[in-house]
Structure 1
């Protein structure tokens, strides 16, 4: 599908520079919604790199504002968690006058919309990042019952893994007492297997890019149906706090 110039909306995506999956939000967006992307320096997958992601973010956001976007999407799950999503949104609003959606807020809203309190966490993160996410989720009454994945050291490595790898890794959650599965990372190829994972496990699935698109559409009041990318797109979104 050709998104054109964004007849319904343009969304400015701030995305890690070393990432390879900035196309995934566009893949899931309905016709007329265009994601425009600007890269933010990010070459390693570590807590240090995640913390540095938000440095100077205002300048990158202004480049997207030049394209007359309607909304900003700060698309790095762990980085938006560490910087504080509300802090980031205020910073970018002050700099550009534009509202923002952060990936961490989107995945939390997605988990709540799907009734997911006990989750399986699937990621390409190193253990130090997994533990930070586990603690953050616990503070929001979401328990990580089990964490599975393939730790990667760079976003290029993350993005190079085929979607089939995540489909196979998700099978490790079979038989666990879970409410659903969260696939956390905006830098991996999972969009095309989300519905399959749901069908195979009999559980709802939320992923970073999926949840980001879902929340952006709700923020913009766009109600075009999105099918083939998991059940989240059929759920209402409570919005941002």
Structure 2
């Protein structure tokens, strides 16, 4: 290590100090999370659920309208790839989660996965409804009740999507809200 006095000032400029790095805060897993611009809680909730040493969550926000309609949910589709791409550029992610259940069903899970993989081919892709379906299958659920905050217009898509995946929805409740704030 060379110690060179700076001629302009009276101090020592240490260069090339030897160092080593560890595996960092994401030694076990790096999770990317694409969050709606209007979402107030998913980052907090995600950190509570995924509270494990060596697992880190990195998020970006996707533009969305606070008015929840099928058209506004679908309007997020062209932004999924670029919002995924800005999460730790150049550093591999293990998983990318798109944090909008209703848009995942309106856009379609497979399409959401394609858009995530366009930016992050190395990462597993998931959505809240993907996780719900996995839980239903793991527990043998075939009939489910659904409760959403959404309007009937959005709920029709949701019920149809769930039923298209082989689940019965004999009960459906809603708060009938269209404002995501």
TM-score range, shorter chain: 0.7 to 0.9
What is the match of residue 76 of structure 1? 100
| 2:50 is the alignment partner of 1:29 | yes
Residue pair 1:10, 1:34 contacting (<8 A) in 2 also: yes
What is the match of residue 134 of structure 2? 109
Rounded Cα–Cα distance in structure 2 between residues aligned with 1:67 and 1:38: 15
Q: Secondary structure at the match of 1:31?
A: coil
Residue pair 1:118, 1:145 contacting (<8 A) in 2 also: yes
| 2:123 is the alignment partner of 1:123 | no
The alignment's TM-score, normalised by the length of structure 2, stands at 0.76
CA RMSD of aligned residues (A): 1.8
* Runs of 5+ unmatched residues, structure 1: 157-241
Rounded Cα–Cα distance in structure 2 between residues aligned with 1:149 and 1:91: 29
Rounded Cα–Cα distance in structure 2 between residues aligned with 1:135 and 1:47: 13
Rounded Cα–Cα distance in structure 2 between residues aligned with 1:130 and 1:111: 19
Bigger RCO (CA 8 Å, 6+ sep): 1
Aligned CA distance change for structure 1 residues 44 and 67 (closer, same or farther; 3 Å): farther
Rounded Cα–Cα distance in structure 2 between residues aligned with 1:37 and 1:28: 15
What is the match of residue 147 of structure 1? 172
Larger of the two Rg values belongs to structure: 2
Rounded Cα–Cα distance in structure 2 between residues aligned with 1:135 and 1:84: 12
* Runs of 5+ unmatched residues, structure 2: 1-23
1:80: how far off?
A: 1.2
Aligned residues: 153
Structure with a larger share of its residues in helix: 1
Rounded Cα–Cα distance in structure 2 between residues aligned with 1:155 and 1:6: 32
| 2:83 is the alignment partner of 1:63 | no
